[in-house]
Amino acid sequence: MMAVRVKICGITRLEDAKLAVCAGADALGFVFYGPSPRNVSASVAAEIIASLPPFVTTTALFVNACADFVLDTIGQTQIDLLQFHGDESPEYCEQFARPYIKALRVKPGLNLEVEKQRFASCRALLLDAYKPGVPGGTGESFDWELIPREMRSEIILAGGLTPENVAAAIQQVSPFAVDISGGVERAKGVKDADKIQRFFEEVARANKN
């Protein structure tokens, strides 16, 4: 089985970025969404990104943002990958001519096969929990059995992951990657060194099985 990649999202501080990278993060996520407690400015994100070693993918998360804001953020941060976490259309996502991942909030009735075809141009679908009125980062998980088996090895699994449940998630779903934010925090927007460490230990344990 291929080792599951890990993205740590909601980075707001250089010390947290370093903790995540030292623990083994493949990717870091920066939230550019005003209402989020993890919202970060492009200038702060750019400073953090400039201090990172190579081979760590940086991701910019947006929720129904205006195109000029996305373009300005790309320009200031030189981010690697875009993550659209709202109701963006494929045409909207494609206009930036940048690699992107599309987040979908999973609930019964959402046809993931159809969504996969709609977003054929995305690098991967990220599957998060559906909670009415909240675009993401809810700390809640969803019924992983709703993910069609043939899609599981391609998706990024998110939503309510923690050091306690990530091994079970990997065992049940075998996703391409896992994405975590709230589950490794000690306060909103502030990561917890011990939780990050335990999260990576659990991912390594699951990768061995």
Ligand X SMILES: O=C(O)c1ccccc1N[C@@H]1O[C@H](COP(=O)(O)O)[C@@H](O)[C@H]1O
Instruction: List residues binding ligand X (CB under 6 A).
Output: 9-10, 29, 31, 33, 36, 38, 61, 63, 85, 126, 128, 135-139, 158-161, 179-183
Smallest gap from residue 208 Cβ to ligand X (A): 23
Nearest to ligand X of 46, 179 (CB atom): 179
Nearest to ligand X of 45, 208 (CB atom): 45
9 part of the active site: yes
Q: Which among 16, 128, 179, 192 is annotated as catalytic?
A: 128
| Cβ-contact 77, 98 below 8 angstroms | no
| Cβ-contact 157, 136 below 8 angstroms | no
Nearest to ligand X of 203, 208 (CB atom): 203
87 part of the active site: no
Smallest gap from residue 41 Cβ to ligand X (A): 15
Question: Which residues carry out catalysis?
Answer: 9, 128
